Structure 1
Amino acid sequence: MSNRELSRGPRTLLTGLFLLGVYVAYARFTSPWLNIERTRQSMSAPSAPVVRTADFAPVLTRWFPQDHWVSDAGKKFRDGGRYLVFNEVALFNNKHSVRVKPVAMLWSSGEDDEQPIRVTAASAQLDRSTPFDLEETEFGRITTGFLSGDVRIEGPDGLQIKGRNFHISDKSMKIWSGSPVDLVWQTHTARAEGGVEIKLLTSGNEDQGLMAISDIQSVHMNGRVTCNVLIPDRNRKREATHLTINAARGFHFDVQTLTSTFFGYEDEKPRPDRQILIERPLTNGFVDKLLCTQLTLQLRPRISSDAGNSHVALNAESDGPQRPKQVELHSIRAEGSRVVVYMEEQQLTGTMTDIRYIVDQRMLECWSNKQDANGNPFPIRLIQKGTEVLVPHIVARALEDNSLDSIDLRGPGLIRHQPDKSDSATAKSDRDPQGTIEAQWRESLIFRQSPEPRITLTGNAQVIQPVKEFRLAGQTIEMLLASRNPVPDPNIPPPSIDSAADTTHNAFDFSDLQPKELIARDRVRIAAPQLSGDVRNQLTVKLSDAASSENARTPTAAGTMQTASFEASNPGQLIGNRPESDKARGFMHFVSDTMQATLLSPESTQAKRPSAPTDWTDIWINGNVEVDYTAPDPDQSFHAEGNVLTAENGLSAGRGMSLFGSPATVVSANRLIEGQRIDVDESDEKVSVDGSGRIRLVLDRGFDGMPLERPSPLDIYWADGMIFSGRTASFVGDIRCVLSDGQSHDIHLTCAGMQVDFTRDVRLSRSGRTGKDVAKNEFDVAPAGDGDSKAAPDISEVRCVGRVHVTLKQMEAGVVTATHEADFSDLTVNRESGDFVASGPGWIESTQPDRGNRLKVSPGVIARANQAVQTSENPFVYAKASFIGSLSGNLNKELVQLSQHVEGVFGPVRRLGDTIDIDIVNSSDLPPQAGVLRCEKLWVISLPQANSEQRTFSLAAEDNARIESRNLDGHADKITYDHSKQQLILRGEGDHKATVSHRASDNSNVRTFIGQKLEYNPQQNTLKANHITGLRTE
């Protein structure tokens, strides 16, 4: 083909090939979170003839320096700002297709300062609906195009796109390549392992084919997509932000909605190789990470300001609908079944399902969409330096300089200390064991930076400092924090695009709260060494270091605290071992309208003894005051009522307290005082025993209040100290109680602290016993008086502090016949009323003979501990129940109630010491007549047997009750089990029904019954149903 034949035809080639090359260049939209200038190029036919000359060779040499063949190419054509260069051209496919190779194209906008778009490829092909005529000027309908081999596209702002084999089709109206594509734009890079797909929009004239293309609809990068983004600070005051985004399942950009989305796989567990991993390295070497399933970046037209009027920058040169020339980021959202945030420098790990950051509002929002079986959302979980935060919703806001403005933790939540959750050994060693905080609230926790750092907890708020025994509860609690320098930034800094400051060095730290003042309002409770109380309106406590102020009038740097949930302690409860210097300290419980005081933490004392108690000073108790004060000397103890009580110098011995009223009254053991003002002074030392010891009582009634066969000694051992006054004895440190007669019973109880109240005054006397097994401080207890009374001292109430463990062995002639064991916290037993209560989590366990021979088990199986037993011998009845809420009941009524997440098992075992462990035994492997019961409330009732002195038991379960056994599985509103009748009853309440799946034998089919009441006999494996509403067989 001669050069003359090409003189007019290149117009078609120029237009068709530039359609393919220039729209491939639009892949720079794959960096949509950047400031993008988009100018739509007009595709109208050229008005000037194509120029074929070597005069523009310097232009080609300048813009194609690495492609030397371009300047020496045999065919060079120019049409205004468009250039086409190739060596060979061929028509084929009955002249419906044209191919040129190699090919280079250049498209200049005409602006000297802007780089033109350049395209090079090994070859290019265009297909037309009608035969090509290189002499004609009409384009015809171009249907497909193809850039083959290595394709390189370059353009303004350092744009580079490298790939292979790009296709274009008028049927699909898209450009695509299945080979890896690399993108460079400005300081940013991206790579799509699975190629790229660009969907096009047309003007609506289908007859024009590809000549009708008017815009791009979307860009999709397939396969794994890796992006490296470098974002400079707009004000050029801070280091640029570097982000690495690695998406396992591609990237999509919708040009019309300006929405960019990265995709990963929806796996249950976080996996960086299958999801989206965003990494942000900091200048100090630490790295922040975010792992999610989907990352969405929402763009919008950039708002510019011209002469004070805001407007959207548009492309005025476009011949179509005007769209913004520049865009900017509006919001970022990360979501997935588990979104994980890790901030290495703060040692902070967060788990949630959604994170959203809105740029203009500088607001970061986190929440969780996952729900449990009851429809309650799973909370967000933050772990920082051994402190865990659980809350369903978090909103953080920053100021214009990206410093922290506020953090809102919305909904019920808690903060608790978990040393094993610390992210590094360094964090563990640096944490002050004195400063652990845990907190709990129902409605919200709000942190505000201005006008002074302040945290507000709302809705049944609770705060505790465990080491210092300080506890506080109220409807609202405010913590005024000690000022820090510099001012802290958010604990979860938003990934600000406009101001990516590296401010992590002053981040807010949940694990290191330093309150200087606490303010609690509305139904306040406080418990601490020396003091406890109930305040109706407001309580204010200033936290001060005595070393900085002799009389503590001005609070200084507060000691580090930690916050925690708690239940109100008994005001008279002994909290811990009192040091030698604290023998003269008193304890006060009060009720009032308001209270304010200062709590000292002597620096020198804390350095010598970390467990040393704090001191109270500047105490003011106001409004309808009632005070019960326990002095070191019982004769100095008193009950007082008045309007105001003050104790400016605290509660230690020798420091005065004043009571004001109209009149005020003070009642002590030996006097009644009334007056407008009453001054109370203490002079005598506290009566106490320091160190270990033992006390012995001879009881004629057991702990259950029932008469014993013979009087039995009760020995109470302690490790740290004892206080005894009148009718009350308090014991501290590793308490062990033993009640045994060696013939009928053997009871052991252990706990951390104990208080025992007697029914009448008693006196202590040295035991006089000698020998190596006799404790240094050993006492006997006898009734107080002239010694004529022979009645044994009786216990009215026992309060156990901390973890309580009880073991009871029932014996006949010294041989153990039954064992009972329990473990829980904070036990209180009133032997007069029989009422008792304890806190969970805990468990109770019992193994006793089956006196009625109701249990039948299979022969030939060896029984072992922790294994379900099957034997032909008469078995024992084994039962165990665990709970996490509370345990309560009545000894006289032989009733026990367990609450919250109760799980129980009952059934036969061959001998004492054997158990049924439901953690290792499936319900289908349970022995006959054994069962597993789960519910929220469980009653265990001891019942007398007819015509017998023996007793049996029954169980009653409510709230989400479920029973599992070898041949039966059911759930109902209420489930009861009577062991004496071998009867299990499932009931539905109201419109609810009970459901039971039953097998008549091990190999029979399962039948499911639905009815109002279902009765089951475990011994006979028979089921009786009333009011059946459903039945199916499987």
Structure 2
Amino acid sequence: MMRRYLITLFSTLMVLGAYSVYAQVSHRLLSRSHTNHATAQRPIVHSVPSIGPRISQEMAEKYLPDAPWAVNARAKIRADGLHLFFNEKKLVNGNTEIEVSPVAMVWMADEEDGKVPSEKEPIVIRAEKATFVFDEAVELSEIRTRLIREIRMIGQVYIRGDDGLKVRGSNFVFSRDNKNISSYHPIDFRFQKHQGFANNIQINLEMRDGGAYADNPQVEAIKDILISEHLEMNLKPDEEESPVLVTCEGYFQYRFDSQLAILNRDVFVHRTDKTGLVDSLTCDSLALQFGEKLDAVPSENKTLGGSSNLELISLTATGDEVIAKSSANQLEAVGERLTYLLREKKLILQKNRGVEIEYRGADLFTPRLEIQVDDDQQPVFAKCDGPGQVKYLDKTAADSGQLIQQSAIPAILAQANWQESLTFMPDPNSQGQLDLVTLTGKAVLHSPVQQTGIISNSIKVWLKRIQLEAPVNASVNSSLSQKQDVRIVRTLAEQDVAVVSPYLEGEYESLDVYFDRQSVETLAALKGETPKTTDTSTSNNVISEPAEQTAAIKKRSSLQKVPKEPFKIDATHLTLQVVHDPKFKDVHVAHVKTEGIVKANGLIEDQEEPVHLEGQSVDIANGGDERQRFHLLGTDERFASIRSGEMRIDGIDLFLDRAQNFTRVMGGGAIEFPVKSNWNGEKLQQAQILEVSWKEQMRFEGRTAHFVGTVRATIGDSVITCEELKVHLDQPISLKSTSMTIKPQIASIECRDRVRFEMNQYENGVLVGIRYLDVWSYTMNQQTGAMNAQGPGVIEFWQRSNGKASLGLPQGMMGKSPSEKTPAKKSGWDYTRITFAGHMDGNYLKRQGTLHDRVNVLHGPVSEPLSRFGRDNRPPQSVWVQSQLLEVALREVPKDPKKPAEEQAPWSIEVQAKGNAEIEGDQFLAKADLVTFDQSNQMFTMRSLENRHATIWHYEHPQAARSRYDVKMIRISPDGNILELDRTLGASGSR
């Protein structure tokens, strides 16, 4: 728009050109050089009948076609380059004045010897009459040499010059005393295609007068041109541009020494284009600074007042209210000072209380605005200095009919505030593809409609301007704003950043947001939604629903998409990728990335319980609906973690995919989730947390969790440690579920490499049993009951003694439920240690198990749990068993109605030791092919197979004499009393 204002330059040039005629006339008539030249070169003559009239007649025919009388004028006088024509003359006031009428003058530059004649049009002046006033009486022949005091041009005066200059006025006066040429009557003028008028004019001159120049005053230069009262100009830059109206109600002044033009009081610049759109500038004072053209070639014979080498270099508008408006650009600016530097193509707006600018729906407020434009008048740099604000208003809503009865104040769509500066410039790193806007000093971006705000010490916004094709049926009134779209590409906030929105809250050192504009359909697909289409038109393209109703439906729809609470993320650095629809009414956070220590929590779409995230960095890919992928990084000292409900996963490198229901952790980590059964598959009345930690990696896929590297798994007081663990659940833990409160049961477990079980058993809060299992591998299917362990292995038990399990293979070994145990008097602790070199298999549900290869069993009483003893230091009432195979079975005992319930045991243990079996008690040592123990009758039985025999040594104590019996079968009580010998093959005794 400022380019159109610059044509104000022509106003000065027109006035300058019009009235330079009078300066040139005065110079020609009064110049000392002319007088000297005339005196020295040519003698004064009173008439030139042969030369003057012929040359003057040619001048009249060529340059005075609009004054045909001049060809046959009675008086034709040539004074060097001046040709003077008149018909009547009259000497008045004692010959001190000469009146001529009508009068015409053709003035062209002197044609000196050896010089090429000038190609410029001469200055042509016509007037009804003119009066030459002298200080003393003169003759007509002395008109060129006598002192002229004043020249009065009376009546209508016409002036024509080079470049189509035409001036029309009346009563022009040259005054030597006042050193000016003036007219206090209206004038109008044309210059090229421009025209204008004023109420008066005064041309002040720089003159040499007095002293040596008393009789020959010289006009050296025009000092300034002054027009008081009303000035009006209509400027037409070219055929394609509409004319520009410039008016001034005060005065216009052009100072030749400083080349400065000033229009003062009620200055108004106005332009209406072909479409009816208006541009205007209103101010109290308008200053136009001219200068020599940078590429101008100096002219030795530059005419007085000539301006061919001048150009406008700056424009300054000042006043209490400097108002610039452009309907085409939807711009209105109000300030106290507007400066435009043409060579730098720089515009500066200033106002102490703040410049107010409305531009394409935005309101800008700043004390100082500086704008740099390119050759196409497009902004390439802008800066707002000092505290400022910009608002984007929803003016369409304020103008709609539905708000007739409501407040017409438009809603604020977006707002930016800053304390130091706002700058706009091309991004140097985008090769001219993007523009960069920077806000500094407590910068704030706020969108009340989106309920979103960002505050930071510095905010940068990258914009991309898209040229749009005008629609085929576009009207001629389409503004420039409809042909260009500005899209936000990226926003970067740095230093003390805080964000508040329905979708995100947090504090950061930096926040980087990338924006991706997509169609409504593409955005719906990214979010996993199905776009709803509604036919809102009939076959005649008539809207079937009121606009107000459609807007209300859209508003309700958008409100329904707002989450219950924002996702809170606190991190050092946060990067977001936001996908939005063309109108920015629907947004989708497609990607989140953080650096530095991060804490985050909030609801994911369709989740009932919030998700909590912690780590050194977090990467979230959000595909909408249930399609989220989380990648969290931690350190050895501080794991990253993700928690939802009672489920928690920690790790150094943690990845979770909701859509695939998959979790992976590389490096060390831990996991927690509730289960409804223990390691033995027993259902728990109340769910307990399964906690697993590892050192190398973990994979979790719904039903199966696979852990590797120094694994430690805990349910309550039961612990498994191994190098590799697989836990299979009876139902998957769905990461896509709206609730993370699923509590599955353990279906099976697989343990490998240095497996150790540690299980504690409580009754009514009192410790009653401890079990340790150390094997190379262990598997158990809690659904089928099958279990298997690969040795070599060690099993240790501590349980409170009930005085009945003499062999010490407790019922707890088979995982019997504590609630099924019969309370007994607690008289101490029993310790059992079982080792085997082969493997162990069995079935938990069938209550049976088998241990293979070099099985050793050591059992006896101890004073407290975790106390141990060996075979060589067995305590009293202990027993040692060795065999190649050991079978253990837990049998249900029928209830005896004749006995009290508290004296009945519901279960009984049966043990069989096979293959080179040996048993040693306090008073006996026995060897047999088969040794059995039946808890129900408290009886040991030893048998031999085939032709072999069983042997028993019986003694009172280990140092006493022994009795040996070789038999096929022996029955003996736990206290060592022999109850039965079958088919004795021999007996002996020793002392």
TM-score range, shorter chain: 0.5 to 0.7
Counterpart of 1:161?
A: 167
Q: Residue 580 of structure 2 is aligned with which of 597, 601, 615?
A: 601
Partners of 1:184 and 1:190 within 8 A in 2: yes
State the 1:437 CA deviation.
2.4
Q: Is the 8 A contact 1:654 1:681 kept in 2?
A: yes
Q: 1:479 to 1:95 in 2, by over 3 A?
A: same
- Contact kept, 8 Å, 2:393 with 2:414, in 1: the verdict is no
Q: What does residue range 932-951 of structure 1 map to in structure 2 within 5 Å? A: none
Deviation at 1:399, TM superposition (A): 2.1
CA contact (8 A) 2:391 2:412 kept: no
What is the match of residue 350 of structure 1? Answer: 333
Q: Which moved more, 1:210-219 or 1:248-257?
A: 210-219
1:326–1:425 CA distance, 2 compared to 1 (3 A) = farther
Determine the C-alpha separation between the residues in 1 that align with 2:644 and 2:123. 98
Candidates 278, 286, 295, aligned match of 1:295: 286
Structure 1 Cα separation of the partners of residues 381 and 468 of structure 2: 16
Residue 276 of structure 1 corresponds to 267
| 8 Å contact from structure 1 (residues 384, 423) kept in 2 | no
Counterpart residue type for residue 326 of structure 1:
N
1:340 maps to 323
CA distance in 2, matches of 1:615, 1:244: 51
Q: Are residues 1:363 and 2:363 paired?
A: no
Query: 1:536, CA displacement in angstroms?
Result: 1.8
What secondary structure does 2:217 align onto? helix
Aligned to 1:462: 444
* Deviations 1:807-838 (CA, angstroms, capped at 9, x unpaired): xxxxxxxxxxxxxxxxxxxxxxxxxxxxxxxx
- The 3 A distance-change label for structure 1 pair 591 and 98 is same
Q: What is residue 383 of structure 2 aligned with on the other side?
A: 408
* 1:921-940 superposed matches below 5 A: none
The answer to whether the 8 Å contact 1:146/1:166 transfers is yes
How far did 1:138 drift?
7.5
In 2, are the aligned partners of 1:143 and 1:209 still within 8 Å (CA)?
no
Aligned-residue offset at 1:284: 3.9
Q: Secondary structure at the match of 2:282?
A: strand
Identify if the C-alpha distance between structure 1 residues 390 and 132 changes in structure 2 by more than 3 Å, giving closer, same or farther: same
Residue from 178, 190, 198 that aligns with 1:192: 198
Matches within 5 A, 1:775-814: none
Contact 2:500 2:506 in 1 (8 A): yes
> Is the counterpart of residue 436 in structure 1 residue 410 in structure 2?
no
- Indicate the SS of the match to 1:303: coil
Per-residue CA distance 1:465-486 (angstroms, 9 max, x = gap) = 3333333222222222244127
Q: Is contact 1:176–1:196 with CA below 8 Å preserved after alignment?
A: yes
Q: Residues 57, 414 of structure 1: CA spacing in aligned structure 2 closer, same or farther, 3 A cutoff?
A: same
Q: Whole-Å Cα distance in 1 between the matches of residues 135 and 630 of structure 2?
A: 106
Secondary structure of the 1:122 match is strand
Q: Taking structure 1 as reference, are residues 580 and 329 closer, same or farther at Cα in structure 2, changes over 3 Å only?
A: closer
Determine if contact 1:36/1:325 at 8 Å carries over to the other structure: no
Give the AA of the match of 2:362.
Answer: T
SS of equivalent residue, structure 2 residue 466: coil
* 1:595–1:325 CA distance, 2 compared to 1 (3 A): closer
**Other-structure match for 1:87:** 87
Q: How does 1:58-137 map to 2 (within 5 A)?
A: 58-109=58-109, 110=111, 111=117, 113-134=119-140
Q: What displacement does 1:180 show?
A: 0.6
Task: Give yes or no for contact 1:302–1:324 (8 Å, CA) kept in 2.
Answer: no
Aligned-residue offset at 1:386:
3.8
Q: Distance in 2 between matches of 1:480 and 1:527?
A: 21
Q: Which residue of 2 aligns with 1:484?
A: 466
Query: Residue 60 of structure 1: SS of its match in structure 2?
Result: helix
Counterpart contact for 1:243–1:280, Cα < 8 Å: yes
Segment drifting more, 146-155 vs 443-452: 443-452
Contact 1:584 1:652 in 2 (8 A): no
> Aligned partner of 2:290: which letter?
L
Residue 175 of structure 1, CA deviation: 1.4
Contact 2:610 2:645 in 1 (8 A): yes
1:13-72 CA-partner distances (Å, limit 9, x unpaired): xxxxxxxxxxxxx99854469999998965313344452354343432332223233233
Matched AA of 1:417: Y
Q: TM-score, normalised by structure 2?
A: 0.52
The number of residue pairs the alignment matches comes to 581
Match of residue 315, structure 1, among 300, 308, 327:
300
Distance 1:202 1:519 in 2: 65
Selected match of 1:381 from 333, 356, 379: 356
- Partner SS, residue 517 of structure 1: strand
Q: What is the distance in 2 between the residues matched to 1:172 and 1:112?
A: 32
Structure 2 equivalent of residue 589 of structure 1: 568
3-state SS of the aligned residue for 2:95?
coil
Unaligned residue ranges in structure 1 (runs of 5+): 1-25, 233-237, 265-274, 305-310, 369-376, 489-501, 554-575, 684-1034
- The CA deviation string for residues 439-490 of structure 1, in whole angstroms up to 9 with x for no partner, is 11222222224341232222222223333333322222222224412799xx
Q: Is the 8 A contact 1:531 1:589 kept in 2?
A: yes
Aligned-pair CA distance for 1:209: 5.9
Distance, in Å, in 1 between the alignment partners of 2:143 and 2:606 is 117
Native 8 Å contact 2:102 2:129 kept in 1: yes
Aligned identity (percent) is 19
**1:629 is matched with which residue: 599, 602, 607?**
602
Give the counterpart of 1:51 among 22, 32, 48.
Answer: 48
Deviations 1:407-458 (A, max 9, x none): 22222211223445999879x99x9x99932211222222224341232222
| Deviation of the 1:179 alpha carbon | 0.7
Q: Structure 1 residues 530, 139: closer, same or farther in 2, change over 3 A?
A: closer
Cα distance in structure 2, aligned partners of 1:137 and 1:463: 79
Residue 80 of structure 1: how far off its partner (Å): 3.7
User: Are positions 1:205 and 2:188 aligned together?
Assistant: no
Instruction: Specify the alignment match of 1:676 in structure 2.
Output: 652
How far, CA to CA, are the matches of 1:513 and 1:35 in structure 2?
A: 50
* Paired residues of 1:166 and 1:175 also in contact (CA < 8 A): yes
Deviations 1:945-1003 (A, max 9, x none): xxxxxxxxxxxxxxxxxxxxxxxxxxxxxxxxxxxxxxxxxxxxxxxxxxxxxxxxxxx
**How far, CA to CA, are the matches of 1:245 and 1:287 in structure 2?**
14
Q: Distance in 1 between matches of 2:255 and 2:653?
A: 80
Q: Paired residue for 1:398, among 373, 384, 400?
A: 373
Q: Are positions 1:539 and 2:522 aligned together?
A: no
Tell me how far apart the structure 2 counterparts of residues 380 and 542 of structure 1 sit (CA, whole Å): 31
Is the contact between residue 225 and residue 254 of structure 2 (CA under 8 Å) also seen in structure 1? Answer: yes
CA pair 76-312 structure 1, distance change in 2 beyond 3 A: closer
Q: Mark the structure with the bigger radius of gyration.
A: 2
- CA deviations 1:282-311 (Å, max 9, x no partner) are 34442211111111111112233xxxxxx6
**CA positional deviation for 1:263:** 1.6
CA deviation vs aligned residue, 1:732-759 (integer Å, no higher than 9, x gap): xxxxxxxxxxxxxxxxxxxxxxxxxxxx
- 1:117 Cα offset (Å): 1.8
- Confirm or deny: 8 A CA contact 1:351 1:381 kept in the other structure: yes
1:643 Cα deviation from its structure 2 partner: 0.9
The residue type paired with residue 442 of structure 1 is Q
Specify the alignment match of 2:632 in structure 1.
659
Match of 1:974 in 2: none
User: For the Cα contact (< 8 Å) 2:614–2:640, is it kept in 1?
Assistant: yes
How much does 1:202 deviate? 1.3
Match of 2:917 in 1: none
Contact 2:420–2:440, Cα closer than 8 Å, also in 1: yes
Unaligned runs of 5+ in 2: 1-9, 112-116, 427-431, 471-476, 528-554, 660-991
Cα displacement string for residues 592-618 of structure 1 (whole angstroms, at most 9, x for unaligned residues): 111122223368xx9xxx97x633222
- 1:78–1:655 CA distance, 2 compared to 1 (3 A): closer
Confirm or deny: 8 A CA contact 2:415 2:445 kept in the other structure: yes
Which letter does structure 2 place at the counterpart of 1:92?
Answer: V
What does 1:201-240 align with in structure 2 at a 5 Å threshold? 201-206=206-211, 208=214, 211-232=217-238, 239-240=240-241
Shift of residue 636 of structure 1?
Answer: 4.0
* TM-score under structure 1 length normalisation: 0.50
> Which residue identity does 2:214 align to in structure 1?
Q
CA contact (8 A) 1:84 1:106 kept: yes
Encode CA deviations 1:1014-1033: one digit per residue, 9 max, x unaligned.
xxxxxxxxxxxxxxxxxxxx
